[in-house]
């Protein structure tokens, strides 16, 4: 280790940081869990309405976004592998690809939402107020859940951008990579939630 002189006082425990991240992920899971609970109750009460309303969504966009997210999840996992193998250039590229995927996801989402907005479908709109009960609930949940999810994408992106610069500056390297590891964990969480969101929102029969 080259920097022996520097970390005398610093207390470093990567395991602790990682455990902390996992615990944070637990809270995020339960945060979405509350929404999934509400979703399951209302879907159970209004199965037909939920089915009809879900036809408004384009499965194609949903699939594209699913694959985009899954792919980004892989690239960020690979970025971690690259850093562990001390391949800085590859790691930087993989993080960049991940960020690009995230951006594509958001742009897709933007168009998907924008499409709804054009039709007057947005929270608080006059049209929403006229909808049938189950339809209204479906779209409310749709906007609320995908919106919260998109917010998490943005937070994840910020984390990964920071990780990118840390890798660049070598403060994340093959010997200390917990920051990137945690950023990646967070990113996988976002993916994990989408895995459940996708069939529940787009594929209702």
Partner 1 sequence: MMSNGTDKIEYVSYLEHQGKYSGLRSWIFATDHKRIALLYLYAIATFFFVGAILGLLMRFELIAPGETIMKPQTYNGIFTVHGVIMIFMVVIPGLSAVFGNFFLPILIGAKDVAFPKLNLFSWWIFIFGSILAVASQFLKSGPPDTGWTFYAPYSTTTGTSVIMATTAAFVLGFSSILTGLNFIVTVHRMRAPGMKFFNMPLFPWSIYATAWIQLLATPIVGITLLMLIAERLFGIGFFDPKLGGDPLLFQHLFWIYSHPAVYIMILPAMGVITEIIPTFCQKKVYGYKAIALSSLAIAGVGFLVWGHHMYTSGMSENARWFFSLLTFIVAVPSAIKVFNWISTMYKGSIDLKPPFLFALSFIFLFIIGGTTGLILGSVATNIQVHDTSFIVAHFHYIIFGGMGFAFFAAIHYWLPKMYGKMYNFKRANIAWGSLFIGFNLLYFPQFIIGIQGMPRRYFDYPPQFQWAQIISTIGGVILISGIILMVYNLIMGVRKGEIAPANPWNGSTLEWQIPSPPSLENFDEAPVVKENPYDYI
Partner 2 sequence: MDHNKTHITEYKVLAKILLLLIFCTFLTISITSFNLAAFTVTIALLIAGVKGFLVLSYFMHLKYESLLLRILVGSIFLLFIIIVLITFIDYSFR
- Is residue 123 part of the contact set for partner 1 (CB under 8 A)? yes
Structure tokens that stand for 138 in this block: 């479906």
Round to whole Å and give the CA distance between 102 and 160. Answer: 10
Among the residue ranges 97-105, 138-146, 152-160, 193-201, the one whose residues contact partner 2 (CB under 8 A): 193-201
Under 8 Å CB-to-CB from 167, ≥6 apart: which residues? 83, 88, 91, 92, 95, 173, 180
133 forms part of the interface with partner 1 (CB under 8 A): yes
The reply to whether 38 sits near partner 1 by the rule CB under 8 A is yes
Partner whose binding site includes residue 59, from partner 2, partner 1, none (CB under 5 to 8 Å by kind): partner 2
To 10 degrees, the CA torsion angle through 157, 28, 151, 69? 60
* Residue 100 binds partner 2, judged by CB under 8 A: no
Residue 137 binds partner 1, judged by CB under 8 A: yes
Which of 23, 60, 89, 169 is close enough to bind partner 1 by CB under 8 A? 23
Q: How many CB atoms lie within 10 A of CB 67?
A: 11
The stretch among 100-108, 135-143, 163-171, 194-202 that binds partner 2 (CB under 8 A) is 194-202
């Amino acid at each position: 280790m080259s920097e022996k002189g520097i970390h005398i006082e610093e207390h470093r425990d990567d395991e602790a940081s990682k455990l902390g991240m996992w615990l944070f992920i637990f809270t995020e899971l339960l945060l979405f869990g509350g929404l999934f609970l509400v979703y399951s109750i209302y879907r159970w009460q209004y199965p037909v309405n939920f089915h009809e309303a879900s036809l408004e969504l384009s499965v194609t966009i949903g699939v594209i976004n699913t694959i985009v997210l899954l792919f980004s999840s892989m690239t960020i996992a690979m970025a971690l592998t690259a850093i562990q193998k001390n391949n800085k250039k590859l790691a930087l590229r993989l993080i960049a690809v991940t960020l690009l995927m995230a951006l594509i996801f958001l742009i897709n989402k933007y168009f998907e939402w924008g499409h709804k907005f054009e039709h007057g479908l947005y929270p608080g709109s006059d049209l929403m107020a006229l909808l049938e009960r189950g339809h209204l609930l479906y779209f409310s949940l749709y906007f609320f859940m995908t919106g919260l999810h998109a917010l998490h994408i943005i937070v994840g992106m910020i984390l990964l951008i920071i990780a990118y610069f840390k890798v660049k500056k070598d403060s994340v390297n093959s010997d200390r990579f917990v920051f990137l590891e945690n950023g990646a964990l967070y990113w996988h969480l976002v993916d994990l939630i989408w895995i459940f969101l996708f069939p529940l929102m787009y594929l209702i029969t």
